[in-house]
Amino acid sequence: MTEYTDIEVIVFEDEDGNETEMQIVDEFDCEGRHVIAVCPAPDEAAEDEDEVSFFYASGKDDDLEMTLVEDEKELEKLGDLLEERLLSK
């Protein structure tokens, strides 16, 4: 598996220039696509927040392109795969 990032935190910037830090939970390949699972960084997360977002990634380093996974079936599949991976560590 090719690692697309060697950092633990990704900073996202919205249309208004607001930055949000997301912590990388895991990276893995699924059906030929590279997946990056992220959650809010500890200082950004609400106390009861337990949300993981999945992105398909392509490119490397400064040219890294990430596409948010929004399809419910894809999210369920990726969530199950992430859970298996985390439990096996």
Concatenated DSSP letters of 12-75? EE-TTS-EEEEEEEEEEEETTEEEEEEEE-TTTS-TT----EEEEEES-GGG-EEEE---HHHH
- Give the pTM: 0.80
Domain presence at residue 3 = no
Highest mean pLDDT among 16-25, 38-47, 70-79: 70-79
Domain presence at residue 68 = yes
Q: What is the pLDDT of residues 31-67, one digit of tens each?
A: 999 999 999 877 766 665 668 999 999 988 778 889 9
pLDDT score at 1: 47
Instruction: Note down the domain range covering 32.
Output: 9-88
Domain presence at residue 4 = no
Q: Both tokens of residue 30?
A: 């699924």
* Count of domains for the chain: 1
Domain presence at residue 70 = yes
